[in-house]
């Protein structure tokens, strides 16, 4: 019969003692104890070498681990994860390799994170097939949107994000006190002066850039049009059109806003500035084959004009004032 788990040591001792007697038939004993001849002779050899102690189960763990990650590299992986707790194996691998570290593979990094209790169980996400697009060159298209309302220790802010569609470069990230046109136009003017004018800007239909369910052009849109910038809007209730800036907001929430609560607008803007630098200059981006956005971005060759050109009307044009919605 096979070994009984409750008395496995006693059965092994009994087997080797019986097998050691004069005239013992080892093959027959193996059959009676339900083990193979190979196993039987293994226990006999161990008993001859080490006595009764040789019958104790030995660890199957290998004595050497030539493929094991060295402690220094594992420490580097854990250090990156500590600073960027939302990064996975692919981003950490790319970040280390860009700094000359012989980084383990993304799958090995994932196992290191799991072994150290730093990786939650993966959540199954439904796979949906979206029609994706990407602007051909930097500044061909900027996506712009607010990320709702964010509560602070003192007050609230409305994060305003401006993202280059081609490079995913975060052109601007502002902790705004409101969503008014004057606030948005002031920040966007600063961006135009630093990075130049984009060819087109994509937004949703909310204020201050969209006419919502009404017709006509808002004052903010009219200002952009006078600067020679085309304006586009996504379909109502269809945030996938601005998918890149929506995904950017998801990363912002995971890596900044889900941390300790920010005290006020000043502290919030400081946190946004630090994270934007990391996002543009350090954080590997999956959609860019783990390059960083700054690798694919160049400022626009179209500078912000110092003054707006006057509106010119032909001699037969009739100039009329229009109401709020055109």
pLDDT digits (tens, 9 = 90+) for 37-61: 999 898 888 888 888 877 887 776 6
Q: The tokens 């959540």 sit on which residue?
A: 123
What pLDDT is stored for residue 137 in this prediction?
94
What pLDDT is stored for residue 218 in this prediction?
85
pLDDT band at 22; cut points 50, 70, 90:
confident
pLDDT band at 132; cut points 50, 70, 90:
low
Mean pLDDT score of the chain, rounded to an integer?
84
Residue of higher predicted confidence among 84 and 122: 84
Highest-confidence segment of 50-64, 80-94, 108-122, 176-190: 176-190
What pLDDT is stored for residue 135 in this prediction?
87
Reply yes or no on whether the pLDDT at 28 is more than 90: no
What pLDDT is stored for residue 65 in this prediction?
54
Q: Give every CB contact of residue 58 below 8 A, 6+ residues apart in sequence.
A: none
Residue 184 to residue 90: CA distance in whole angstroms:
35
Reply yes or no on whether the pLDDT at 234 is more than 60: yes
Reply yes or no on whether the pLDDT at 306 is more than 70: yes
What pLDDT is stored for residue 120 in this prediction?
65
Cis bond before residue 208 (omega within 30° of 0): yes
pTM as predicted: 0.68
Residue 21 to residue 103: CA distance in whole angstroms:
59
What pLDDT is stored for residue 255 in this prediction?
92
Q: What is the mean pLDDT of residues 67-92?
A: 84
Residue 205 to residue 232: CA distance in whole angstroms:
9
Q: What is the mean pLDDT of residues 2-14?
A: 68
Conformational region of residue 262, where left means phi above 0, alpha means psi within -120 to 50, and beta covers everything else: beta
pLDDT > 90 in the chain, percent: 38
Maximum Cα interatomic distance, the chain, rounded to a whole number of Å:
127
What pLDDT is stored for residue 123 in this prediction?
39
With 0-12 / 13-18 / 19 or more C-beta atoms within 10 angstroms meaning exposed / middle / buried, residue 236 is: exposed
Q: The tokens 């949703």 sit on which residue?
A: 204
How long is the chain? 326
What pLDDT is stored for residue 276 in this prediction?
94
β-strand 170-176 against 142-146: which pairing, if any?
Answer: unpaired
- Per DSSP, helices labelled H in the chain are 8-19, 26-33, 37-50, 71-83, 89-98, 106-115, 181-195, 219-226, 243-252, 265-281
- 172 phi and psi angles, rounded to 5 deg: -155, 145
What pLDDT is stored for residue 212 in this prediction?
54
Q: Are 138 and 167 in contact (CB under 8 A)?
A: yes
Reply yes or no on whether the pLDDT at 254 is more than 60: yes
With 0-12 / 13-18 / 19 or more C-beta atoms within 10 angstroms meaning exposed / middle / buried, residue 313 is: exposed
What pLDDT is stored for residue 134 in this prediction?
84
Q: What is the mean pLDDT of residues 140-166?
A: 94
Reply yes or no on whether the pLDDT at 280 is more than 60: yes
Reply yes or no on whether the pLDDT at 90 is more than 80: yes
């Amino acid at each position: 019969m096979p070994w009984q788990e409750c008395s496995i040591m006693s059965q092994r001792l009994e087997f080797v003692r019986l097998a050691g007697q004069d005239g013992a038939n080892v093959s027959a004993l193996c059959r009676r104890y339900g083990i193979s001849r190979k196993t039987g002779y293994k226990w006999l050899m161990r008993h001859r070498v080490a006595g009764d102690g040789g019958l104790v189960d030995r660890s199957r763990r290998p004595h050497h681990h030539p493929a094991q990650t060295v402690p220094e590299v594992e420490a580097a992986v854990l250090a990156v994860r500590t600073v960027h707790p939302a990064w996975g194996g692919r981003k950490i691998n790319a970040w280390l390799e860009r700094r000359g570290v012989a980084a383990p593979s993304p799958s090995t990094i994932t196992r290191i994170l799991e072994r150290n209790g730093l990786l939650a169980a993966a959540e199954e996400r439904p796979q949906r097939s979206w029609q994706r697009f990407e602007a051909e060159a930097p500044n061909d298209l900027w996506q712009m949107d607010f990320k709702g309302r964010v509560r602070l220790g003192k007050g609230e802010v409305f994060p305003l994000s401006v993202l280059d569609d081609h490079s995913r470069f975060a052109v601007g990230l502002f902790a705004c006190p409101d969503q008014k046109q004057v606030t948005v136009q002031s920040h966007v003017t600063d961006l135009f002066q630093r990075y130049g004018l984009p060819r087109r800007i994509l937004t949703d239909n909310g204020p201050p850039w969209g006419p919502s369910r009404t017709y006509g052009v808002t004052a903010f849109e009219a200002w952009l049009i006078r600067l020679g910038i085309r304006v586009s809007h996504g379909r109502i209730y269809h945030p996938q059109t601005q998918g890149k800036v929506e995904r950017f907001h998801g990363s912002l929430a995971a890596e900044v806003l889900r941390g300790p609560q920010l005290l006020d607008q000043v502290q919030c803007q400081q946190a946004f500035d630090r994270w934007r630098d990391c996002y543009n200059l350090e954080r590997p981006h999956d959609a860019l084959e783990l390059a960083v956005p700054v690798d694919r971005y160049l400022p626009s060759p179209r500078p912000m004009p110092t003054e707006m050109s006057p509106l010119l009307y032909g001699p037969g044009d009739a100039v009329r004032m229009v109401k709020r919605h055109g």
